Amino acid sequence: MENSNQDIIKNKPRTIAIIFAVLLFVFIFLIFLPPIISLEGMDGGFAISMVSMFFAISSLVIAIVYFQLARKFRMITSGENIIAHWSYGREEWLKFTEMEYKYEKNKNKALLLLMGIIILIVFIVFALFNPDTWRIMLMVLLGLLALLAILAFLVPWLNYKARKKSAYELYLSKNGVYIGGSFHVWGFLSSKLENAVFNEKEMQIILDYSYITRTGPSNELVHIPVPPSKIGNAREAVKKLTEIISSNNAND
């Protein structure tokens, strides 16, 4: 098989962690800036300190989380607890990027349609109870729908471009996966691997993991293309992951 490209696998969580660590020190400085420049509390000094304290705490939390993710990323890509590892040929990888691009666009189109229906219902209800302001409400909701539409098509395109430039590499471990620039982890901050299957018709391993968001539980699907020479490895990897899932469910 053609070897993967020679791009260095970038530890993006570490980069994010460093950025927020720097922001942490910036906001700590801003907390004590008002007395340094003799800015009275009632003239805005108190507000600057309080807002900076909030952002400092937020930066600290985010930095800690991403430093932990960076450590997990380093462990996985260094081969620790690896279940499967292989490289892809260029043509094989480009075919996969096209399939993922199409999948993400279709998924976002379905979500956009759902949001459009919800926005229409909200507008009808609002117009019935506030008929005098329906024009303003319509403009606001159409603006929101336009923003969602832009994101629905922009995000898959950005992912597509980044995926094409990434290393054609897979690292699958018992608690995470790195594939072509994308990094997913479970068993961390309430995230949990729910299912693992090998679709031999599509020649893909499909992983389903859940995580908690501000609006409640959410799920993410990860598609892993399987080269013809790695079918046995794929079956064995899914078997191990299924055993891990069963073990975790028994312990819950």
Q: How confident is the model over 94-132, as pLDDT tens digits? A: 888 888 888 888 888 888 888 888 888 888 887 777 777
What tokens were used for 91? 């043509």
- The reported pTM is 0.72
**Residue 156 buriedness (CB in 10 A; 0-12 / 13-18 / 19+):** buried
- The domains of the chain are located at 12-77, 82-88+168-252, 90-165
Q: Which of 183, 248, 168 is nearest to 222 (CA)?
A: 183
Q: How confident is the model over 50-64, as pLDDT tens digits? A: 889 999 999 999 999
pLDDT at 181 exceeding the cut of 90: no
Q: How confident is the model over 212-228, as pLDDT tens digits? A: 877 778 888 899 999 98
- CA atoms within 13 A of residue 245's CA, in its CB half-sphere: 18
List the single range of 31-45, 153-167, 170-184, 231-245 with lowest mean pLDDT.
Answer: 31-45
Which pLDDT value is given to residue 4?
41
- Backbone phi and psi for residue 32, each to the nearest 5 degrees, phi listed first: -100, 5
Q: How confident is the model over 225-248, as pLDDT tens digits? A: 999 899 999 999 999 999 988 887
Which pLDDT value is given to residue 6?
37
Q: Coil, strand or helix: which one is 185? A: strand
